[in-house]
Structure 1
Amino acid sequence: MRPSPIISLICPLYNEEDSLIPFFSRLIPVLRQLGEPCEIICIDDGSQDQTLNQLLQIQIQQEEMLTLVVHELTRNFGKEAALTAGLDMARGEAVIPIDVDLQDPPELIAEMVTLWRRGYDVVLARREDRSSDSWLKRNTAQWFYWMYNKIADIPLPENAGDFRLMDRRVVEAIKLMPERQRFMKGLFVWVGFRSTSIYYVRGTRSAGSSKFNGWRLWNFALEGITSHSTAPLRIWSYFGASIAALSFIYGNFIILRTLIYGVDLPGYASLLTVILFLGGIQLIGLGVLGEYLGRTYMETKQRPVYLLRKTYYHSLNQSDNKSDMSHELGQHGPASERN
């Protein structure tokens, strides 16, 4: 029977067949140097390429102190759902989500573990240089952090992604949150705990391309804002009150001018402009309200965040591993069909 893991790594995967070999080539030496039992939890989020098959080939070569477990989801649920699945499956005393594209260097794990042993519950990896990202991505990310931190009750640490170390107590606190529409960066921050940061230069992808295009990033930003703040609703309330006040003042002005100077020629152009302007404002307000109503609708259905198709171990005959890993996923997902 393998020793219980001290460190759990969560790797969400979607069509990353070209990134796996370079990633494990750099990750395994780092974990060996730790000298602690580790587990690598790979969540195959409905990949359409050879990601799963390559993982199973790599799994055969696992070592005594390193356990690689592959969980296959029934379809592509998205990265936030895959991270949630990984947190549910992780057994380690410290849990580290990491992408396999090597933009987040595995070599930082040793420093994270050192700070964790000094008493920190969360160790953030923050990007001090994002020159590898495009100009548009850098600036839109900066705008998002600025906007989010202006209106959210709990600010996000800037340039910190999912790559971080979390103590078991932090993971258990996150697992208590029942929402289905999940913005994990916000949930990571919301639980609090004692934290510190390390800084690194973000590299380029080792292979493949990002699965987040501009439209998905925009929706991701909306998800983050509406998940952790009701400020947009208040803003439109204030904006509507301001327009009503200005309309009242302008109406009084028109009455006074008419009493003094008489009736002018009707301004059809200005009237049409005002009507279209106010109509547009109302539609935007309805859209903001619809975002929150849509989130409420999705939450009331109480569907699981993800569905697990199968879990792969190194040997189908290792009943000790099977009993160790068999558990209910509670409100996030159902128990999986085991190999």
Structure 2
Amino acid sequence: MMIYLAFIIAFFFAMNIGASGAAASLGVSYGSGAIKNRRLALFICAIGVFLGAVLGGGEVVKTIGSGIVPKNVLTVEIVIIILASATLSLFIANVIGIPLSTSEVTVGSVVGVGIAYQSVYVQKLLVIVSFWIIVPIVAFLTAFIIGVLMKKFNRKKGEKRSKWKPFLTFLVIATGFFEAFSAGMNNVANAIGPLVGAGLIDASNGILYGAFFVALGAFFLGEKVIETNGKRITNFSLGEGVVISGTGASLVTIASVFGLPVPLTQVTTSSIIAIGAAKEGFYIWQQKVIVQMLKVWIVSPVFSLVISYGLVKLLLESDVYSLVVLISGCIATVGILSLMKTARNKKPSFSKEEKATS
């Protein structure tokens, strides 16, 4: 029964991975107008994700399955806790339409379990986390430099009346498909890796099933997220879309070859923000959707870590005291943030009263 539950959660997680990855891949093609039909964009994404997972997802599966914590830690119960923690974080993000990195929430869940058992490969973890920071920065700088050059030579205007527009349309769709392919390579491991690490399924069959459910999620659940990445951050042309998708796909594919789970959504969104900054200036950072995404990116790995750690302590070790400490810490954090917000809100009204008395 527990094994069946592990597979059900893993496949549900895979569907949410597809929903989140949709924005990170074909969102650019949709936002630039290369693909005007949102459902068609999601269908192309589903095909790309499936092929990427089947043809190149093996190395990252090894990392998630045995590269962060020892294999002997991954029992059926632990696998369920890891997948449930990551799924909850990702599902919340998908509901509110925020493109979230499945790699971050999965690694956070695995690390939470490792901390509970004091068994984490710290050196490997530091390498992974460092690439979470480095790769989006590289994506941002690359896209920003190219965006500035495109603005300087006024390529956007030339593109509209150019005979090359059909070719650019094809190219942005092709790079979007390539990005979906890279998403499959990197992200299917997040759902299947724990199952493979625990010996519940072999890698080849696990990748095949995982790829199928990731593709289903991309097609049926990706509408809100593709709208966020494609329409709500900034407008971009066909040429800029090629830059964004090509940058993200190349970086994530390279990382996948070396077995590194990296945040595709952060990479793509960083490129989109860079293009917006190159065209409109850095005040684009003031947009609420960008601030909201940054907060979710930071909180989500910690959130999934805390959930998995707490579930291990409560369900497997019956350690209620550790759970009380975690809940108390969460309550204290929320309380402090609420007090800070209240203090900020009081300042303007105080200033007005002070002006009135003077």
Is TM > 0.5 for Structure 1 vs Structure 2?
no
- Higher normalized helix content (fraction of residues): 2
| Higher relative contact order (CA closer than 8 Å, sequence separation 6+) | 2
| TM-score of the two chains, using structure 2 as the length reference | 0.27
Structure with larger Rg: 1
TM-score by length of 1: 0.28
